[in-house]
Structure 1
Amino acid sequence: MYTPPKIERFNENVLSKYHIYNSVFITLPFDSIDNTGVLLPLFSEMCESGFKQQLNPRQIFEQFSDKFLDNKTEQDKINLMFRFIQYIERQIVLFDAIEDAAFPIVNNMEGRGSLRDINEKAEAKNKLDALRDFFRTFKVRTVLTAHPTQFYPGPVLGIITDLTIAVRENDLQRIKELLAQLGKTPFIKKEKPTPFDEAVSLVWYLENVFYYTAGDMVHYINKNIFKEEINDNSLLNFGFWPGGDRDGNPFVTTEITLRVASRLRIALFRCYYNEIRRLKRKLTFYDVDILVTEIELKLYDSIHSADDQIFLTLDELKQQLNVIKRIVEQKHQSLYLDDLDLFISNVGLFGFHFASLDVRQNSRIHHQVFEEIAKEGVYLANGYLSADAIQKAEIISNAKPGVNPNDYNEITRSTLESVYAMRTIQSLNGEMGCNRYIISNNETALDVLQALALFRLCGWDNPTVDIVPLFEVIDDLRNAKSVMESLYTDEAYQQHLARRGNKQTVMLGFSDGTKDGGYLMANWSIYKAKEEITEISREYGIKVIFFDGRGGPPARGGGKTHKFYASLGPNIENREIQITIQGQTISSNFGTLDSCRYNLENLLSAGVANQIFDKDENLLSGADKKILDELAEKGFEKYTDFKNHPKFIPYLEQVSTLKYFAKANIGSRPAKRSKSDRLEFSELRAIPFVGSWSQLKQNVPGFFGVGSALSYFETSGRWHEIQHLFDHSLFVKTLLENSMMSLAKSFFPLTAYMKEDPEFGPFWTIIYEEFLLTKRLLLKIAGHTALMENYPDGKASIEMREHIVMPLLTIQQYALLRVKELNAAAVPDENLIAVYEKIVTRSLFGNTNASRNSA
């Protein structure tokens, strides 16, 4: 049977359907909309033609007003802009739903990277035993974070889900109803969400997507790869940050941490309860029905307990299920055994925790906490405050237990309370409920030892907790090996690691690394840090596990993630793949049963490929590394000069939408870590930093410095070296292809008017020239005539989304220009300024939501 190419499937099942359903949408009779549906396509055409004629956003909108609006006042124009924004927001939702509906058609669910493909390839290469051995220890952990990179409120997410089903079933009447509902449903959250609100919204994905997908996958592996053999390894597990991530989020409290942990457990019990109810309809046999009912009732009581009481333990649940299984096998001809095995597999996978709640805090906070406690001279020996790092490590190794959080200031109290909360959560949800303490801004071994000492101070002598340093900025990545060696040779930490099975998790973050050192240096520094930490860990007999803070656009470590993991080679430990997923990455890559399975299977496949099928193929030679060192250094020099340009911070503050991220009710976290009015680059969070460049369609963090680095090899007659590396290294190929995605989502005609700006014109030109250089050389090295031409469906999706938001981007730039103009007036009209600032903020939502395929 003929299967059309992927791009044909995309065109037929996504683009064609979008045009059909969008034509339905823009003709729906909404209240007070007038003829917006007629005007929007006209405005969209005028935007496209206007930018080709090198008009600026203001000229485009004014020409449109002159041509299609009769003597309209400024207020009429403002009203129309808001109506355009409302329409475009909903067009993006429609496109999301159509893409989700077409996912299993456009993507080959049983093709390369699938579990079926892994199984068949292992059989064909006589490597089934090796595959089984690998799956006995390997794990994939996806960690859900609440970083605000998607702004749909709950009701809109529900409509997307229903609309996806209706589109898949071609139910035109239902689609019209849902589009009408969409038109009347608010997209804006009136209040900022709390960390608990964010947790609840992400628990929905665990309940409705991950629970079923992960359970089915592990059941498939046990049944088809292990067959009759037992595999006790939880191949898939999940992490959770909302409610536990205290780094820079002043709104995370101990109460919220405990509430989130409770919500996770109760959500899981609901899944178990629903599953046992389905089994009850099948397992109606003698000696079995009573046992099933007993589990059902205990789960029901545990869900509805007012005081967090649990009416059965995890061991009791597992034992009871195994008793039921034996009876079904021995007395009832194994009837419905497959369904029962699936439930048993899920209980083994999720325990009572559902997802492990990680606690994260900044090392600077720990230093403040220890200084506060040391002042008393009770729990830490005298001299701590004046001691050097080595002496402090010795002092805290002998810290005395018994601190009372209520005796200290707010920062110290909340930090100590988080330790007590972890112990409480473990008593209810099991050890996996909350067993990792992550240290942001980790610079030294002392930062890790302080975190360990916190547990000792709180009376938890042998904590069942992993201490996880997070290395992110370039200097910290370079020093990571020496930090880890210091820890491995510290007696107190050695004892802790021995109790934890000599396993050490190390987190490596992309966001602040890219912000600090640019795209090439961040990625290469992380690669080298992984190799160096692997080497030192193997030397000391420590099983190191890497946890990557990746997600979103390539500038934040996103892009073709599974290709990145498949490219790492044997000198980087491959025991687990751990990765953060967030915002639009969750909804686009893991938001439906199909996309979730596809992407989880690809992550598993990446680990298998790296270890079983292509183990030595991705090994970089010494010469390769020398070239990459040069490449990264040249990119770093260009980016550092750019970052140190006197107009860098003013450009972000005055030209971009940076300050509007703080105004929007998009997440519980502040846009920057400090409370000062002055913008300090080091305090700026990565999401508004990357997002601001994205709103300008100048995706600087994903490409700046790449062109200059490649140009160095071209002009020095060494192009063949970098070309050979691209052709033979999957790591380099993936790295540069991901940068191409950043270029493909850039659109400089939108801001070309800035080149004439007396203050920022030269700075804009620097960005544009680097863009042109990077584009030329990336096309040259790939042998392409257009960006992303080897991913035609991804290219087509990006182009369609960019087409949808073009009017939105134009409106945003128009509003920014009006704000600047109004502020320059002798007597600024504050009310009018506030209106245009609201237009900027509202358009920010749609522009970001449209970028869901950035991961």
Structure 2
Amino acid sequence: MPSHWTPTSWQQRLEELLAPTGDLKQAPLRRDVRSLGTLLGEVLREQAGPALFDAVENLRRTAIARREADGADQAEANSQLQQALFSVHAHCEDATTAYQLGRAFSFYFELINLAETNHRKRRRLSHQLDAAAPPQRGSLRGTIRALKSAGFTAETTEELLKRVCITPVFTAHPTEVARRSVMFKRRRISDLLEKLDEIPVPESTLEALEQDLTAEITALWQTDDVRNARPLVRDEIRMALDYYESSLFDTLPVLYSEVAQALAAEFPDTPAPAIADLPLLVNFGSWIGGDRDGNPFVTPAATTEAMAMAKNLLLTHYRKRLQMVFEQLGSSTAQVPVSTELLELVDRYLAKAGPNAPPNTMAERFPTESARLLIACIMMRLGAPPQASVMSYVQSVGQSAPTLPPYNCAKDLIRDLTVLRNSLIENNGRRLSALLIDPLLLEARTYGLHLHALDIRQHARVHATAIAELSAWKPAVEGETLALPPALSPQTQEVIDTFRAIAELKRTNPPEALPRYVISGATSAEDVLHVLWLARLGGVRVEADPNSSDPGLQPVPLFESIPDLQNAPAICRELWTSEIYKPLLESWNYKQEVMLGYSDSNKDGGMLTSTWEIYKAHRALHDVARECGVTLRLFHGRGGTVGRGGGPTHRAIYAQPVDSFSGELRITEQGEVLNWKYSDVVLAERNLELMIAASLDAIARPDAVIQSKKSVIPTRNAVILSEAEGSASATTTNAQSHPHLTGELLPAWEAILDTLSEASYAFYRQHIVESNDTFVYFEQATPVAELEHARIGSRPAKRTDASSAKKRSMEDLRAIPWVFGWMQSRQLVPAYFGVGHALKSYADSTPDGLAQLQTMAKSFPLFLDIIRNVEMALAKADFGIARMYASLVEDESLRDRVFTVLKTEFDLTIQMILAITGQKALLEKNKVLEHSIRLRNPYVDPLSLIQVELIRRKRAGDDNPELNRAITATINGIAAGLRNTG
């Protein structure tokens, strides 16, 4: 029987791949989705029986019918919904059947997600095959082309690139529902889908690949997708490290090659740089094993283990790479000379190789292969036993294995690799260097000897409590200021133990692996000084050491609430002008990092106010930094969802304030986002390229330069960096014109955003934060209470430190479960509430108000980003389904009050978004996303109905492990279907 992937003709398959637009372009995705659905159906019938398959099909068809009738025939839509409810009620009487139903729909999303990811890779390949196609949107080549059009030269472009460095910081916030074993199976299915895309493939091979694919889907079905226990911190560390092995180690050379090729293509008269000569554009960070804010399981031992696991993974990787180089690089001095520098380095190593390994022992084995000898020595310094052929020879002549001291710092490894590289280049081996050594050098510069920088994080309240406890104790010996009390509370003891562990880890590991300490909930300069005092008490050197590679331990204040964002510039001014802090700044070369919190500020003030206050804090912090002579780097604590500051990263980077970006940024990557962005080389390379391109664009603003050159009267209040002309220019604007997507913020637009934010904030606070009704509604009309049984992450859902509130309240609730509950219940309140009210109020109260908002949405990147992110969230929400969740609220009067407020604001926000964008329906101008959501809804809807039914039973008293497992299956499925947990 032919495979589901058997083409009508291979010519047609090729035409599908090459199609730039239209139906033919989408044909491969439709085929993958249809074929994977068919295979899943076969697996369901085989593994769970025809009754379950029929139940799934019945619910799916009913959900489709309800969606098709919705809006056109509301009575029919309601009838279909009732049929679905009756069906769910019947099937869910047995918790095991409910669990199987939930898994069936969840697995469909697993396969759809993989199909869509494969299509993204397919379209990227299609674009690369078309030499005449303009650069892909957001690509580095597109940005460099814009720079060239603006007058930038190859030299000024490369100078700008030297300012760019992006740092994804992997975090273990509990938003990844998949188990590690499930992630491995995803990768195997993804690999098979790629093989099915090859052209041409014999029919027998297609059939074999389809059989393998069916086997992998079967294996996925037979694997527990729901955890039986919470993951340990070690499990979270391991999951993040998997991304290096699965993609990132192989991505780095591809990424830098893309940069070199883009420069060569756009500036053909300038020689293409070698990847090892490009500036460092990317490095990596992690919070996993260092973030103890509210997580009692992140202990000093966990931090020590996180560093050891990262280092061991990296050194193993280096040794594997070097082994390959050893085998491939057989350059002989009988054929080509080597540099004197290399010979001298090898002689020094041979002299140190150990008392039982005479220098000539290794040299005799490779008398003409000095490059290989150096590689063997580098491997030994990285902890490997001597290369196999060296070992066998040494042992054959009765000698002990040679040894060399391990590397203590990355610069020594980089030096040795550079000696080898230079020798090859000097002696007609440039191609060998580019193939074998340049990628290694690139990795050594990026990863050092530690892989990524591990941030330590703790809440300011915990530090304040420790300080108060320590200050209350009077030492018995006068002048004994640094002595500790004989007994400390467990929380304070953990704080002291953490700093002692940092001091020890800096002594026994590359000290640059622990450069920062993030302070959650920072509200004052004193919060930073507390960390300095406690660090010194624990034996940590906080200032950088000029005589070593130790960068010290810089406190990084994290401003999270709306008031704290507003106060952040004044707090930093106080800190940076403090006589206590100035010497530290000097030791750090007057560089300071500050973190901005998206999740908590959104929960505190709503999406619109959070976005605007972060923007203003960003701009003001850079102003204060310039005033104080500080180079500021901002760390953006963004989540995966719009309600936690998520959304397309390229847009967000470009939407930063003009002249308030140094080119360096750190950004959190967490939960399910890691899988979407870094699960394979193609995705990881594209994601990193987008961030580099956006950063380059945000520094140079080439569109602004081009626009100002075209204008007879240049634009007002724009500070546009024009490296091509050698200076930054401040210009003025014509009353009849406005800047178009240059990033310039006109005073009138700033006033509008202030007005919108003020209205949104007041409305959001009144109806959400300060409304006890809404909090009660949230707890009962969402599955937030069931999050505990999902066992998503090691961190508890609520802070339990000694200084936190004891009662249940909005203030004590973490931002993640807040967004999780609204997302799962299809209400997505954090992503839109207050936006519609503010937009409508402004449009109605201001002459030409709507026209002004439309202009801003077309011309100001930040406002465009807000509008598009809200639109995406509205498209994922469903208040027909949300009404089912609302029925779980016990107090009918309270339920109706809150639901009416939420639904009214939801409808108003849709109305205003459509009016501003000029669309008749949401996502009318984003057909790819619209199609994806439409494809998923018939499968998400049954999961939501199943979840509501199961929660109702649980709250009625039928609380048992099987029921909780079934609820968790629906949580997994809805998260996969919406591509968001929280």
Instruction: Give the structure-2-normalised TM-score.
Output: 0.79
Matched, 1:254 2:379: no
Q: Which residue of 2 aligns with 1:548?
A: 636
Q: CA deviation at 1:92?
A: 1.6
Structure 1 pair 437–123 and aligned structure 2 pair: CA distance change class (3 A)? same
Q: Which residue of 1 aligns with 2:759?
A: 634
Question: In 1, are the aligned partners of 2:276 and 2:439 still within 8 Å (CA)?
Answer: no
Q: Which residue of 1 aligns with 2:470?
A: 373
Matched, 1:561 2:649: yes
Q: CA deviation at 1:622?
A: 1.8
Q: Deviations over 1:67-98 (max 9, x none)?
A: xx8xx8x75x4433221112122212212222
Q: Which residue of 2 aligns with 1:622?
A: 747
Question: In 1, are the aligned partners of 2:285 and 2:453 still within 8 Å (CA)?
Answer: yes
Q: Which residue of 2 aligns with 1:103?
A: 120
SS at match of 1:311: coil
2:374 alignment partner AA: L
Matched, 1:325 2:421: yes
> 153-162 or 170-179: which moved more?
170-179
Q: Alignment partner for residue 357 of structure 1, among 450, 454, 467?
A: 454
Q: Alignment partner for residue 499 of structure 2, among 406, 419, 440?
A: 419
Matched, 1:452 2:521: no
Q: Which residue of 1 aligns with 2:970?
A: 843
1:432-581 equivalent positions in 2, closer than 5 A: 432-463=512-543, 464-581=552-669
1:107-122 equivalent positions in 2, closer than 5 A: 107=124, 108=127, 111-122=136-147
1:326 alignment partner AA: N
Structure 1 pair 512–571 and aligned structure 2 pair: CA distance change class (3 A)? same
Q: CA deviation at 1:664?
A: 1.9
> 217-226 or 268-277: which moved more?
217-226
Q: Which residue of 2 aligns with 1:655?
A: 781
1:852 alignment partner AA: R
Q: Which residue of 2 aligns with 1:710?
A: 839
Matched, 1:674 2:800: yes
Q: Which residue of 2 aligns with 1:726?
A: 857
Q: Which residue of 2 aligns with 1:749?
A: 880
CA distance in 2, matches of 1:456, 1:63: 65
CA distance in 2, matches of 1:830, 1:328: 70
CA distance in 1, matches of 2:419, 2:796: 52
Structure 1 pair 381–288 and aligned structure 2 pair: CA distance change class (3 A)? same
Q: Which residue of 1 aligns with 2:905?
A: 770
Q: CA deviation at 1:174?
A: 1.6
SS at match of 2:284: strand
Q: Alignment partner for residue 342 of structure 1, among 439, 449, 452?
A: 439
CA distance in 2, matches of 1:120, 1:223: 12
Q: Alignment partner for residue 18 of structure 1, among 15, 33, 40?
A: 33
CA distance in 2, matches of 1:753, 1:458: 54
Q: CA deviation at 1:661?
A: 0.9
2:938 alignment partner AA: H
Question: In 2, are the aligned partners of 1:33 and 1:83 still within 8 Å (CA)?
Answer: no
Which runs of no fewer than 5 residues in structure 2 stay unpaired?
1-14, 71-75, 129-134, 197-208, 264-271, 332-368, 388-403, 544-551, 705-719, 721-741
Q: CA deviation at 1:322?
A: 1.9
Structure 1 pair 457–320 and aligned structure 2 pair: CA distance change class (3 A)? same
Q: Alignment partner for residue 690 of structure 2, among 593, 596, 602?
A: 602
CA distance in 2, matches of 1:94, 1:406: 58
SS at match of 1:785: coil
Give identity over the alignment, percent: 25
Q: Which residue of 2 aligns with 1:386?
A: none
Q: Which residue of 2 aligns with 1:786?
A: 921
Structure 1 pair 646–121 and aligned structure 2 pair: CA distance change class (3 A)? closer
Q: Deviations over 1:385-410 (max 9, x none)?
A: xxxxxxxxxxxxxx95x556985332
Q: Which residue of 2 aligns with 1:175?
A: 213
Q: How many equivalent pairs are there? A: 820
Which runs of no fewer than 5 residues in structure 1 stay unpaired?
383-398, 824-828
CA distance in 1, matches of 2:789, 2:34: 34
> 55-64 or 89-98: which moved more?
55-64
Q: Which residue of 2 aligns with 1:94?
A: 111
SS at match of 2:581: helix
Q: CA deviation at 1:45?
A: 1.6
CA distance in 2, matches of 1:415, 1:372: 12
Question: In 2, are the aligned partners of 1:265 and 1:353 still within 8 Å (CA)?
Answer: yes
Q: CA deviation at 1:315?
A: 3.4
1:176-325 equivalent positions in 2, closer than 5 A: 176-221=214-259, 225=263, 227=273, 233-285=279-331, 286-301=369-384, 311-313=406-408, 314-325=410-421
> 583-592 or 733-742: which moved more?
583-592
2:453 alignment partner AA: S
SS at match of 1:544: strand
SS at match of 1:759: helix
Q: CA deviation at 1:631?
A: 0.4
1:769 alignment partner AA: T
Q: Which residue of 1 aligns with 2:549?
A: none
CA distance in 2, matches of 1:790, 1:364: 46
Q: Which residue of 1 aligns with 2:57?
A: 41
CA distance in 2, matches of 1:425, 1:677: 35
> 227-236 or 791-800: which moved more?
227-236
Q: CA deviation at 1:219?
A: 5.0
Answer with 1 or 2: which has the greater Rg: 2
When the two chains are superposed, the root-mean-square deviation of aligned CA atoms in Å is 2.8
CA distance in 2, matches of 1:447, 1:125: 45
1:149-168 equivalent positions in 2, closer than 5 A: 149-168=175-194
Structure 1 pair 133–36 and aligned structure 2 pair: CA distance change class (3 A)? same
Q: Which residue of 2 aligns with 1:388?
A: none
Q: CA deviation at 1:292?
A: 1.5
CA distance in 1, matches of 2:294, 2:246: 30
Question: In 1, are the aligned partners of 2:138 and 2:650 still within 8 Å (CA)?
Answer: no
Question: In 1, are the aligned partners of 2:310 and 2:450 still within 8 Å (CA)?
Answer: yes
SS at match of 1:288: helix
Q: CA deviation at 1:743?
A: 0.3
Question: In 1, are the aligned partners of 2:781 and 2:886 still within 8 Å (CA)?
Answer: no
Q: Which residue of 2 aligns with 1:138?
A: 164
Question: In 2, are the aligned partners of 1:302 and 1:310 still within 8 Å (CA)?
Answer: no
Q: CA deviation at 1:281?
A: 2.1
Q: Deviations over 1:76-129 (max 9, x none)?
A: x44332211121222122122222222222345662322333344444544222
Structure 1 pair 195–378 and aligned structure 2 pair: CA distance change class (3 A)? same
SS at match of 2:167: strand
CA distance in 1, matches of 2:698, 2:476: 48
CA distance in 2, matches of 1:324, 1:459: 40
CA distance in 2, matches of 1:753, 1:187: 26
CA distance in 2, matches of 1:405, 1:799: 63
Q: CA deviation at 1:689?
A: 0.5
Q: CA deviation at 1:843?
A: 0.9
Question: In 2, are the aligned partners of 1:152 and 1:187 still within 8 Å (CA)?
Answer: yes
Question: In 2, are the aligned partners of 1:403 and 1:458 still within 8 Å (CA)?
Answer: no
Instruction: Give the structure-1-normalised TM-score.
Output: 0.90
Q: Deviations over 1:26-84 (max 9, x none)?
A: 11254443432233121112234357445499943453379xx8xx8x75x44332211
Structure 1 pair 854–689 and aligned structure 2 pair: CA distance change class (3 A)? closer
Q: CA deviation at 1:653?
A: 1.5
Q: Which residue of 2 aligns with 1:84?
A: 101
Question: In 1, are the aligned partners of 2:146 and 2:703 still within 8 Å (CA)?
Answer: no
CA distance in 2, matches of 1:258, 1:689: 32
Q: CA deviation at 1:774?
A: 0.1
CA distance in 2, matches of 1:673, 1:84: 34
Q: CA deviation at 1:416?
A: 2.0
Structure 1 pair 648–445 and aligned structure 2 pair: CA distance change class (3 A)? same
Matched, 1:60 2:83: yes
Q: CA deviation at 1:709?
A: 0.4
SS at match of 1:504: strand
> 205-214 or 167-176: which moved more?
205-214
Structure 1 pair 120–621 and aligned structure 2 pair: CA distance change class (3 A)? closer
